[in-house]
Amino acid sequence: MRQRIGTCSLCGGDVMGYRGAWYSVLPPPPDECTSCGAVVASDVIEMALAPRRRHYFQTTATTRVVPAP
C-alpha cells in the first residue's frame, strides 16, 4: 500500500512510497513525488547521530553506570 513518507526536497510536494510487506518477486517501485514526479536518488537512508547511551557493567559487588565515550 502506498503511503505518504515525506516531502520532496525539490518542490515540497508529497513523496509516496511503499513501506512494510511487499508481496512481489520484484522490488517495490521507487518512492516518487506526486507533484513533480521526482524519484528517490538512492537506497541510502539519511541518518543522524543517536543520543549518547549509558552502558551498564555488572561487577561482583554492585552495578555501576558508566557514561558512554
Strands 54-58 and 32-33: unpaired
Residue 52 in domain: no
Establish if 4 belongs to a structural domain: yes
Which string of DSSP letters, residue by residue, matches 14-43?
A: EEEEE-S---SSSPPPPPEETTT--B-S-S
**C-alpha to C-alpha distance for 17 and 3, rounded to whole angstroms:** 6
Low-confidence ranges of the chain (pLDDT < 70): 22, 43-45, 53-69
Give the span between the Cα atoms of 62 and 56, in whole angstroms.
Answer: 11
Q: What is the pLDDT of residue 15?
A: 92
pLDDT of residue 4: 92
Range of the domain at 31: 1-42
What span, in angstroms and rounded, lies between the C-alpha atoms of 49 and 43? 19
Assess if residue 57 is contained within a domain.
no
* Tally of domains within the chain: 1
